[in-house]
Chains A and B, each alone.
Chain A
Amino acid sequence: MGVVAISANKQEEIERFLYLEASYLDRPDLDNWIDLYTDEGTYWMPAIPDQKDPDNHISLFYDDRVIMEVRRRNFVHSAAASKDYDVRASHIISNIQVTDMDEETGDCTVTSNFHCWLYYNDKQTPYAGRYTHELISDGLSYKIQSKRVDIINCDATLNTIIIYI
């Protein structure tokens, strides 16, 4: 996928939006995070590199609105034993590139590299990889139509991934 030349303003607008999403996941604040997604929005974490689709191969996550809504509630549910532990994250996003842009609507596809350190149950775990966001523009800001999270160790033996990365 090539990189599309866009104005510095547009680039900044998009970056600001990605940072906002990351900041909700840092806390984590899923109630505000979910509002960044369209009603058809999806969050996908493939289980192999270059995975073609989520329907014919297992994924670590493939959440539509239904699962996001359940997860948002479950994350703070007092009876979920795995959620008894504090979860804190720190995301760094870089190499943000627009790879596709619809000039008319402003909808675009954005790729970026991320490093995320996740603290959970006395352990600190690093995740690294690449995001691919499909963003829908409403003129003022964006909504996420899909987010793909390719962690570089997606096909390794992993422990619990307690929250969206």
Chain B
Amino acid sequence: MSYTQKEIIDLVRPTKVHRKVYTDPEVFDLEMERLWAKTWIYIGHESQVQDKGSYITLNYGKVPVVMVRDTDMEVHVLHNRCGHKGVKLVDKACGKIPAFRCCYHGWRYRLDGKLLGVPYMESYEDTAFNKEDPQYSMQKLRSDSVRGFVFATMNADAPDLRTWMGGAADVMENLCDRAPDGEVEAAGGVLRYEHECNWKMFIENLNDMMHPMVVHRSVVECARDYIKTLPPDSPRLDEAEILLPFGASYEVMNDSITGFKYGHHYDGGKTSIHADYTLDPEYAAAMKSAYGEARMNEILSFNTHNTLYYPSLTIKSAIQNIRVVRPIAYNKTIIETWSFRLKGAPDSMLKKTLLYSRLINSNGSMVGPDDLTAYFRAQQGLESEASDWIEMHRHFGKDEVLTDRVIGKGTSDLDVRTQYTAWREYMTVAA
């Protein structure tokens, strides 16, 4: 079947959403066209393409793209497609090249995508083919960045990136402000984790504060059990500091969620599961000398948990770890975990970020796999027609609506409601 405008609208109600948004491949295809292609999608961080000719490749929705730094040191996001017969021009995850050169007939492109050379031009003589015609160059996506985080969109009419981010940009600023030098860089590589579930299940879990004490009870109990066997004067364990807050009570998780236009949200602010990390004295000293004590305290006390830039990027400013959503099919998603170095901070900070990524997000961790089990069981369970609806009532009607944001309890479903409000808006705009 093909969805009419009305049928799409009907999939989302104020406090419930139809199961088809997760289980119908056709909805997935429409999402790629109407949502992913129309909004800003996270591409990568500028520090991943530091030199002239450095590039990274990825898929924007289903479309292969390449982020590259040109000879003027400008960063571009280009369709990774030869202007001749469409062959992908670069096929490594990352690399460095003097220019693009197609492996098929050898067309060459400048680093900003402009077609440079076509072998044996004589054979085009007296034809309408014009090498200067922009259609034969690599096509550029509209791109922009905030503090080095590069986004791109296929939508010429999308609002500018900062406007689109709204107040959620505060958390990205905070992540970078946590560097004594005011800048972060991608460091320590990436983990790519296949999830057998719809992409929305992953992002709907980010600020689901009703799940950690259930899903992650086992690892928290096991950590507590082990700690009990240690002598009472044992040194503090970073592992315990990271794992134990996952068992925090409903009351603790209740700080707040703040939602924004276009589907973004973060939870916490005053406090979060990261709030009680021991402050590394060397890091504190570097921060104090960079910012002064008052500003340092202001930066470090803005304590959020997850921040979603709907639909593709989620960041943790307090531990400098991000996850990127790469949808593959209605029931398959790749989640990438990247870690960031705070420039000017001691090495111990990156070490802790990597410990966090390993303990919580790795394919081999004791946290992520339990979340994933809930997602793939939901994917399976929603095949049942027992009910067509998934509810999202929690705290409905009690959210505080301000001009630029909506604020509610940490245990509110306002994060999911915020996402589906944006979802419906994107999905019903004529393609």
Whole-angstrom distance from the CB of A3 to the nearest CB of chain B?
30
Instruction: Say whether A58 contacts B194, CB under 8 Å.
Output: no
| Bound CA span A80–B223, Å | 13
Quick check: is A158 within 8 A (CB to CB) of the other chain? yes
Contacting B237 at CB < 8 Å: which of A66, A84, A160? A66
Instruction: Say whether B189 contacts A82, CB under 8 Å.
Output: no
Contacts of A78 in B (CB 8 A): 218
Determine which residue in A70, A77, A78, A158 has the highest number of CB atoms from chain B within 10 A of its CB, and name it: A70
Instruction: Say whether A157 contacts B194, CB under 8 Å.
Output: yes
Instruction: Say whether A77 contacts B218, CB under 8 Å.
Output: yes
Contacts of B196 in A (CB 8 A): 159
Closest B residue, CB atoms, query A54: B354
Instruction: Say whether A82 contacts B337, CB under 8 Å.
Output: no
Quick check: is A71 within 8 A (CB to CB) of the other chain? yes
Instruction: Say whether B354 contacts A77, CB under 8 Å.
Output: no
Contacts of B221 in A (CB 8 A): 73, 77, 79
Quick check: is B401 within 8 A (CB to CB) of the other chain? no
Decide: A159 near B366, CB < 8 A? Known: A79-B218, A82-B372.
no
Instruction: Say whether A67 contacts B188, CB under 8 Å.
Output: no
Quick check: is A60 within 8 A (CB to CB) of the other chain? yes
Instruction: Say whether A70 contacts B223, CB under 8 Å.
Output: yes
Contacts of A67 in B (CB 8 A): 239, 359
Instruction: Say whether A58 contacts B189, CB under 8 Å.
Output: yes
Quick check: is A36 within 8 A (CB to CB) of the other chain? no
Interface residues on B, range: 35 or more
Contacting A160 at CB < 8 Å: which of B218, B351, B363, B374? B363
Quick check: is A81 within 8 A (CB to CB) of the other chain? yes
Instruction: Say whether B339 contacts A70, CB under 8 Å.
Output: no
Closest A residue, CB atoms, query B350: A56
Decide: A58 near B188, CB < 8 A? Known: A81-B373, A82-B370, A160-B363.
yes
Known contacts A60-B363, A81-B373, A160-B363, then 6 further A-B pairs from the complex at CB < 8 Å, ordered by chain A residue: A48-B189, A58-B189, A58-B358, A157-B194, A157-B334, A159-B363
A–B pairs, 29, beta carbons within 8 Å: A47-B189, A55-B354, A56-B351, A57-B188, A57-B354, A58-B337, A58-B339, A58-B354, A60-B191, A60-B364, A67-B239, A67-B359, A70-B219, A70-B243, A71-B222, A73-B225, A74-B366, A79-B217, A80-B219, A80-B366, A82-B369, A84-B373, A156-B192, A158-B194, A158-B363, A159-B194, A159-B363, A161-B363, A161-B364
